[in-house]
Amino acid sequence: MPSETKAAETFVEKPKTLAELRGDLAAGRVKATDLAARYYERIEEVNPRLNVYLSLTKERALEQAARVDAATAKGDPLGVLAGIPVGIKDVLVMKGAPATAGSKILEGYRPPYDATAVSKLEAAGAVLLGKLNCDEFAMGSSNENSAYGPVRNPVDTERVPGGSSGGSAAAVAANMAVATLGSDTGGSIRQPASFCGVVGVLPTYGRVSRYGLIAFASSLDRVGPFAANVRDAATMLGVIAGQDPKDATSSPAPVPDYAVESDKGAEGLRIGVPAEYFAEGLDPEVRAAIEKGIDSLKAAGCAVKRVGLPHTRYAIPTYYLVATAEASANLARFDGVRYGYRSPASDTLSAMYSHSRDEGFGAEVKRRILLGTYALSAGYYDAYYLKAQQVRRLLAEEYLRAFAEVDAIVTPTAPMAAFRLGEKTGDPLAMYLADIYTVTASLAGICGVTVPCGATQAGLPVGMQVLAAHLNEGTAFRVARAVEAAQS
C-alpha cells in the first residue's frame, strides 16, 4: 500500500491535444491506422492493471481509421475528430458490441444500433476504441460497484478513480484514449474527472441526445465528454450536442462553436462563490486549491462575489429520492425475459423474475431499487417523491436567481481528493456524501465543467466545478480555460 511519503504506482500519461494530432494526421506524419494501433498497444500494456476497458471494438476502429487515411490521401475534407481515438462508457450502446452497463444482468447483450452520441462521433471521424468500465447502471461514486471489478486511478492505483464514469476519466488520464464519453446523473462525469485530474463536462439537460443511453434516472441522465484539456472537451461537446428526433427531451437550440467560445477569455465575467460549498466537511487541502483557483480568476480580470444557495443542504436527500424512484421504474425492464441474464433456477415465471433480478443485480443497484420503490409506494408518494420534486424546483429557482447576478458559479467538485479503494464501500451514506457538491446542478438541469485546479501534498488532483446557466456551456468553458491557464 502506498503511503503519503512513498510514491504510489502511477500510469498518468498526457495525450497530445486534438489540434496537435489533427496536424500530425493532416501532414502525414502519422496515419490514423498507426495511431489506433499505438493506442491498442497502450491498452494492452496498462489495462490489466487499471481495468479501464471492458471490451474492445478493434475491427470497427481500424476500419474507421482506414477510411480516414484514405480520405487524407485523396485530400478530401476531414471531420473535426478524424482519426482521434475515443473510448465509450459502457452505458452507451454501440451496434454489435457488448453493452453491460457494468452489470451481470446484461450479460451477452449486443445491441443492434448505435447511440446518437456514438453515431455523431463516428460521423466526425472519431476512431472508437472500445467500451469503458463503470459503476453498475451508473450507480456509484467510486467505480467499485461494477460487476467486472473496480477501475483503479491512474494517479495512484490504490485509490478510486471516482464514479460512475471512472473508466472514462481513467482512460484519458492514462492516455488510453484521447477523449471519452461518460454519463452524469448526479456527478458521474464531474467527480471522476476531478479525482483523475482531467476535464469533464456536464451539458445542460437536453443539450445532448440520450438516445442509446441505458437509463438510470431519465430526468437527470446526461451524456458528456472527458478530455485532457478544456478546448478538447469543448470540441467534443460541439460534436455530440444538438437536437435529435429520437429523443423528445433534446433541445432545439442552435449549437455554438464551443471551442471558439472557450478562446474568448474570462476577463469581465462575474463569478459567484457560494458559502454553502465551503462549509464543514470540505478537506482543507481541497479548500486551499480552490481558493487559489479563485484568486487566479481575479487575476484574469473576473469580478468575484458571494452568492447564496441556501437550499443546497437539501440536495442529497432530494437527489436520492428522485434518482432512486426513477431507477426503480427504469430497471423494471430487466427481468430475464427478452435479453440479458436469466437465472437457471427458474421453474415458474415468478421465480424467473425474482431469481434473475436477485442474481443479476449487484448490492448497490438493489439498494436503490428498494429505496425508489418505497418512495413511490402508496401512502408514501406524497411524503417523499412529491416533496422531493418540490424541493428540486426550489433548487432550480435558486440557481436562476443567482445567475441573474453572476455569469458563472465556482465550487469544489468534490469535498475530498480520491479516496482509497474499499475505504467507503461499507458505508453507503458516506459514499453518497461524495456527491454533495455535484447533485444540485443535476437537479437544476444547468451545465458545468470540472477542470483541474491544483493538487494535495500527496499529489492527488483537485478539481474546480464551474457552473453556468442553461445552455451557457460557452461561459463555463471560458472560466475553465482561465483556471487551466493558471495551472500551466
- Kindly list the catalytic residues: 89, 164, 188
Is residue 145 a contact partner of residue 133, using CB atoms and an 8 Å limit?
no
Tell me the sheet residues that pair with 241: 208
Q: Which residues of 433-451 are buried (b: 16+ CB within 10 A; e: fewer)?
A: bbbbbbbbbbbbbbbbbbb
Q: What are the Cα distances from residue 361, in Å, to 104, 333, 343, 452?
A: 7, 12, 12, 34
> CB–CB of 189/450 below 8 Å?
yes
Q: What is the separation, in whole angstroms, between the first and last Cα of the chain? A: 31
What pairing do the DSSP bridges indicate for beta strands 53-56 and 127-132? antiparallel
Grid cell at residue 21: 494530432
Inter-residue contact 372 to 327 (CB < 8 Å): yes
How does DSSP assign 461-485, residue by residue?
Answer: EEEEEEEESTT-HHHHHHHHHHHHH
Beta strand 53-56 pairing with 447-455: unpaired
The C-alpha cell 456524501 sits at 433
Q: Are 254 and 357 in contact (CB under 8 A)?
A: no
Alpha helices in 78-115 (DSSP H): none
CB atoms within 10 A of CB 108: 10
Q: Cell for 88?
A: 465509450
Question: Which residues 6+ apart lie within 8 Å of 379 measured at CB?
Answer: none
String of b and e for 19-35 (b: at least 16 CB within 10 Å)? Answer: eebbebbeeeebbbbeb
Partners of 452 in beta bridges:
463
Task: Let me know: does 216 contact 263? Beta carbons within 8 Å.
Answer: no
C-beta of residue 353 within 8 angstroms of C-beta of residue 335: yes
DSSP code for 106: G
Question: Is the separation of the CB atoms in 308 and 397 below 8 Å?
Answer: no
CB of 331 closer than 8 Å to CB of 365: yes
